[in-house]
Structure 1
Amino acid sequence: MLRFIKTIRRFLILIVLVVSPFSVVAQGTLRAGPMVGHVDMRSATIWVQTNAESNVRITYRDNVVGKGLATATRKTRAEDGNCLSFVLDSVEPGRTYEYHVIVDDALVPEPVPNTFRSRPIWKWRGTDLPPYTIAVGSCHYVNQPGYERQDSAGNESGYGSEYEIFSSIVEAKPDAMVWLGDNTYLREPDWNSRSGMIKRYSHTRAHEASRTLFATVPNYATWDDHDYGPNDADRGFWGKDHALNVFKLFWANPSYGVMDKPGVTTSFEMIDMQFFMLDDRYYRSPNGRKDGDHTILGEHQIQWLIDALSSSTATFKVIVVGSQFLTDNLRKECFSRFPEERERIISLITENKIPGVLFVTGDIHAAELSKLDRSDAYPLYELTSSSLTAGSNKDIAKQPNTYRVPGTEYGAHNFGLLSVAGPKGQRVLTMRIMDKDGKEVWKREVSEQELR
């Protein structure tokens, strides 16, 4: 009888040890996050940032088997901004997962259920391909008293507003969110030190308005000048390695850099659409330099891009870059300032007979659709979406762009949606610009046949 009582006692203690992390609720342990990063068929990445050095793990379960799973426990470090990215490597295709963040053996409260859906198996499954939607946007500015612009009387004026746009993005139910650059705005006190960059990224990421988007939608990002360094920063920026390190701390992309070269270049697939995320800062020549090479991407990145496009079997191949590509507006920091590189990329796409290519860009604090008609190949489209919350370019209609599709200019806060639907061989891409309230500003449809 005594042995039986001891056995029961050990069993009850074991239950307490297993259940206790979920019976204690951690208050104020996360500074930011969680954020869903890259999600594939058999893995997913979850990012978190704690307030102080802490032991963290992620638990998760799917909606089919329901078996509880967990990552190993890892410790956040102050020198890395207390940021960690966890790879959930027991994911199965096409399932919805709920996940929980455990900090120092206590469950972190969830204002909304933390969920993600793994990518489905779809190839060689007949002609019925899944429909999907990708949200895109750029230029996110979060105000911080004491760090804002001042007028002549010393009064601060915040540059960011209308943060409700993130609720509108969530309501659109995208399968992923692609950040097109200027995803935070480094200020003068920030960009001269790694610690300053970490503080700026931390402040932006912790903003309450974007929490649900980060917690429930896979997020991918490239950068532009303001989340890289000073305005119009290029390869000469002395702090670019700090900037790259901090970018990698705060995002959870599938990879960083190509061909053994550092940078934020990466690629990912969404059913029959593949994204090619380019780095327009790390190798960019100074705008004012007259001698030497004149490049935005650098030779290695161009070669990788054409290689990757040539080998891709995706119906739609989306080139993502912070700077506008097609426009001929020389007053903007666009590829028009680097005409040889722009024409070379277009020529290489044409010479290699690569179908289905289009561009998605940000930067200009306005939205527009550009179209380059070509006599020897299909037209090239470029969807520009900007800005999410930073100041808007209300004069976009007055600014030159020979290739702008009439009626697509929009000078207020916006985000873009790329939706793909239709049977195999007859897929249709619908491009939309949405206002801050999630109302459609305009839409255009492009069939896969048009891009062949």
Structure 2
Amino acid sequence: MLRTRRRLLAGLPALGFLSAHADDARPLEHIVFGSCLDTHDHPMLDRTLTLPRDLFLFMGDNVYADKGGIPMMQEKYARLKHSRFFRGLKDKPILATWDDHDFGLNDGGSEYPQKKEAQAEFWNWLDEPPDSPRRKQEGVYHAQSFGPVGKRVQVILLDTRYFRSSLKKVPKDQAMLGGTSVPTDNESTTILGAAQWAWLEKVLQEPAELRIVVSSIQFAPEAHGGECWANFPHEQKRLLSLLKGQTALVLSGDRHWCEFSKNGVFDFTSSSMTQKHPRGTPTPNKHRIVPTTYHLPNVGFLSIDWAARSITTKIIAEDGEAKITHQAAFTELLVR
């Protein structure tokens, strides 16, 4: 394994931090987003490369490296970086955050002892410069703005792992359909942590006509037994409060199915890029705004119509067809 990893790591050209392609003079019109990538040779990935794209967002579980430690993580990232899919994406900006499997611990949070090492491998994958401030901070959260005045899009990528408090669990005989995680009433617990919250408050003061918040876990649905913001209701309320008055939306992954929700703010979930959901049915979600859910490999596709001041969000399948579609005017995206 070690020889294989070294061979994969060697000979790969330095890509530079891929968001360096950003052009302030050119507005974003097409954003492709996806999560949960467990193989690099799949028809869905080939389909993804055919979509018009100004930006690609990796929303977490970009590799499955929660077993085998840091050496396995290095190998998985090297395979992704060397893949036809990743190389096909690098002609345009790429931004990324992580979820539990690429963080290094299933359902993991701040308790993970190798989180600093995992963060270093995350930035190595993206060729973040050695002297970058992002390497020096704790957590992989970051933000970037695109486009000229009047058409500015701020993309905010949250880190829902590095600082997150332990999940509250119940016995299996009390589990919900999605698992054994339940909401906590302990308001000293956190998802983002103090430093990230302070940073988020600051970046939300920067000018933008549209804000896209990337969260590896779902924001809008009620608690369902799996991981979601509703497991920390005080944190969910805090984020919604911060977004009030903003023209904003959330993009999320994790679930291995797709659904569109709204709970104060739109939450468009796309998952998985390469896996089908084994159960084939979603957990309950009273905030679902489109009755259709989709459980086969997919990516999300977000189009911005600057003239009409509206967005259209689609779930694109292997056949190139849209399985879920929703259109919303900027006025509907205003968080109240």
Matches within 5 A, 1:190-229: 191=69, 194-208=70-84, 210-229=85-104
Distance in 2 (CA, whole Å) between partners of 1:317 and 1:283 is 23
CA contact (8 A) 1:185 1:227 kept: yes
Which of 2, 10, 14 is equivalent to 1:50? 10
Is 1:390 aligned with 2:272? no
Please give the secondary structure, in 1, of the residue aligned with 2:30: strand
Distance in 1 (CA, whole Å) between partners of 2:77 and 2:240 is 35
Distance in 2 (CA, whole Å) between partners of 1:369 and 1:446 is 12
Displacement after TM superposition at 1:142 (Å): 2.1
Distance in 1 (CA, whole Å) between partners of 2:63 and 2:17 is 25
Structure 2 match to 1:276: 156
CA shift digits 1:84-127 (9 cap, x unpaired): 45379xx9xxxxxxxxxxxxxxxxxxxxxxxxx662525xxxxx
Matches within 5 A, 1:12-27: none
Structure 1 match to 2:172: none
Displacement after TM superposition at 1:175 (Å): 0.8
- CA distance change for structure 1 residues 349 and 368 in 2, over 3 Å: closer, same or farther? same
Displacement after TM superposition at 1:336 (Å): 0.9
CA contact (8 A) 1:141 1:204 kept: no
Matches within 5 A, 1:53-202: 84-86=14-16, 119=23, 121=25, 130=27, 132-142=29-39, 163-189=42-68, 191=69, 194-202=70-78
Please give the secondary structure, in 2, of the residue aligned with 1:171: coil
Query: Please, what is the CA RMSD of the aligned residues?
Result: 2.8
CA shift digits 1:353-410 (9 cap, x unpaired): x3211100100001110012xxxxxx4100000000134254334x111101132311
- CA distance change for structure 1 residues 326 and 252 in 2, over 3 Å: closer, same or farther? farther
Which has the larger Rg? 1
Is 1:371 aligned with 2:262? yes
Please give the secondary structure, in 2, of the residue aligned with 1:86: coil
CA shift digits 1:197-254 (9 cap, x unpaired): 211221333334x145334332211000000112111111111111001001001469
Structure 2 match to 1:400: 284
Distance in 1 (CA, whole Å) between partners of 2:206 and 2:303 is 19
Displacement after TM superposition at 1:440 (Å): 1.0
CA contact (8 A) 1:84 1:249 kept: no
Which of 190, 214, 232 is equivalent to 1:338? 232
The structure carrying a bigger strand percent of its residues is 1
Q: Which amino acid aligns with 1:412?
A: L
Q: Which amino acid aligns with 2:320?
A: G
Please give the secondary structure, in 1, of the residue aligned with 2:199: helix
Distance in 2 (CA, whole Å) between partners of 1:256 and 1:428 is 34
CA contact (8 A) 1:131 1:422 kept: no
CA shift digits 1:234-281 (9 cap, x unpaired): 1111111110010010014696659x7411111112322211001011
Structure 1 match to 2:302: 418
Structure 2 match to 1:10: none
- CA distance change for structure 1 residues 131 and 319 in 2, over 3 Å: closer, same or farther? closer
Distance in 1 (CA, whole Å) between partners of 2:250 and 2:318 is 23
Displacement after TM superposition at 1:196 (Å): 2.8
Which of 300, 317, 321 is equivalent to 2:195? 300
CA contact (8 A) 2:303 2:313 kept: yes
Structure 2 match to 1:359: 250
Q: Which amino acid aligns with 1:180?
A: M
Matches within 5 A, 1:250-261: 250-252=125-127, 257=134, 261=137
CA contact (8 A) 2:259 2:270 kept: yes
CA shift digits 1:388-438 (9 cap, x unpaired): 0134254334x1111011323111111001111132xx4111111101232
CA contact (8 A) 1:364 1:393 kept: no
Structure 2 match to 1:148: none
Q: % of aligned pairs identical?
A: 28
Displacement after TM superposition at 1:331 (Å): 0.6
Please give the secondary structure, in 2, of the residue aligned with 1:332: coil
Please give the secondary structure, in 2, of the residue aligned with 1:217: coil
Gaps of 5+ in 1: 1-29, 33-48, 52-81, 92-116, 123-129, 144-161, 373-378
Which of 221, 235, 249 is equivalent to 2:124? 249
Please give the secondary structure, in 2, of the residue aligned with 1:267: strand
Distance in 2 (CA, whole Å) between partners of 1:131 and 1:288 is 40
Please give the secondary structure, in 2, of the residue aligned with 1:343: helix
CA shift digits 1:51-90 (9 cap, x unpaired): 4xxxxxxxxxxxxxxxxxxxxxxxxxxxxxx7745379xx
- CA distance change for structure 1 residues 238 and 226 in 2, over 3 Å: closer, same or farther? same
CA contact (8 A) 1:83 1:249 kept: no
Query: What TM-score comes out, normalization by structure 2 length?
Result: 0.82
Structure 1 match to 2:138: 262
- CA distance change for structure 1 residues 324 and 360 in 2, over 3 Å: closer, same or farther? same
Greater relative contact order structure (CA < 8 Å, 6+ sep): 2
Distance in 2 (CA, whole Å) between partners of 1:197 and 1:447 is 41
Distance in 2 (CA, whole Å) between partners of 1:292 and 1:327 is 19
Gaps of 5+ in 2: 1-5, 170-183
Q: How many corresponding residue pairs?
A: 307
Distance in 2 (CA, whole Å) between partners of 1:448 and 1:118 is 23
Distance in 2 (CA, whole Å) between partners of 1:336 and 1:407 is 21
Q: Which amino acid aligns with 1:204?
A: L
Distance in 1 (CA, whole Å) between partners of 2:86 and 2:163 is 32
Query: What TM-score comes out, normalization by structure 1 length?
Result: 0.62
